[in-house]
Amino acid sequence: MSRATFDEYKDRYQTIKMRRTDGILEMRFHTNDGPFQWSLLPHAELEQAFLDVGRDYDNEVVILTGTGNEYCGPQLPPGGHPTRKGMTKERYDPIAWESKHLIGNLLNIEVPVISAINGPAYRHPELPLLSDIVIASDDCAFQDSAHFQGGMVPGDGVHVIFPLLLGPTRGSYFLLTGEVIGAADAHRLGLVNELLPREKVLDRAWELAHLLLKQDRLVRRYTRACLTEDLKRRMQTLLPYGLALEGLARMGD
C-alpha cells in the first residue's frame, strides 16, 4: 500500500473538513457545516479518512474536533434507533466491516491524537475518548444514546472503552442506563483531561499540539504506538465478538 498525501484526501469527504499547518492536521467533523450528525455516510467516511491520515507520513499530530455547540449527535430517545430491527446479514456485513476498520484505522494513526470536544457527544462517544489527550468544553456531556437504550447491543467499541475508562461496574451502568455524564463528572472520572470554555478548546488543542512538536519525531511516533498497543489488542479480541452479537440481535422482525 502506498503512502497517502494530504492533497489527495483533504477535500475528499463530505463530513470532514481538514487543515494542516506545521504537520498538525485538524479534522473537523460536521454535517452541512453544522453540528456533526451520525449516519451511514460519516460511518463510511471516517473509516477511510482515518486510513488516509494514518498512511500520510507527513502528519505529525492529529486534532479531532466537531462543529458548533455539539460534538456529535443526534441524541436518540429510548427505543429510537431507526435500524434496531429488521436487519439482514447482507445489510449488516458492510456496516460491521466499517465499524471494525474505523476503530482499527484510528488506533493505527502513529502520531499523537488530541480530541478537542466542543460540546455533548451523544453518538459514538468512544471515538474522541480513544485519543491520547482529551480536552473538552465545560458544557460537554457523554452518552451512548444509540445502543442499549435504543434497542441494540453496545458491541461496536463502547463495550471495550467505557469499562476500561470507568471500571467494569461503572462502565456497565453507563451503557445499560443511557446515563448522561456531564462535564464535571467526566473530568472527575478521568474521561477528559481539561475543561475549558467552548471558544478556547480548539486553541488549547493547537497549543498542546505545538508542545508535542518540540519532542523528537520518532519519540512522538513510537510513544503513540506504545500507548495504543494494549487498546489495539483489546479491540482485536473483543470488537469482532461485540459486533457479531450486535448484528445477531438486530436480525429479523
User: Phi/psi at 250 (nearest 5 deg)?
Assistant: -100, -5
Residue 38 grid cell = 451520525
Residue 129 grid cell = 475518548
CA atoms of 252 and 181, how far apart (whole Å): 33
CA atoms of 73 and 45, how far apart (whole Å): 16
Helix (H) or strand (E) holding 18: strand 16-21
The one catalytic residue among 26, 60, 70, 126: 126
126 is catalytic: yes
CA 70 to chain centre: 14
- Angle between helices 40-54 and 89-107 in degrees, nearest 10: 40
| Cα pseudo-dihedral 42, 225, 6, 236, rounded to 10 | -30
CA atoms of 149 and 144, how far apart (whole Å): 8
CA atoms of 95 and 248, how far apart (whole Å): 13
Positions annotated as catalytic residues are 126
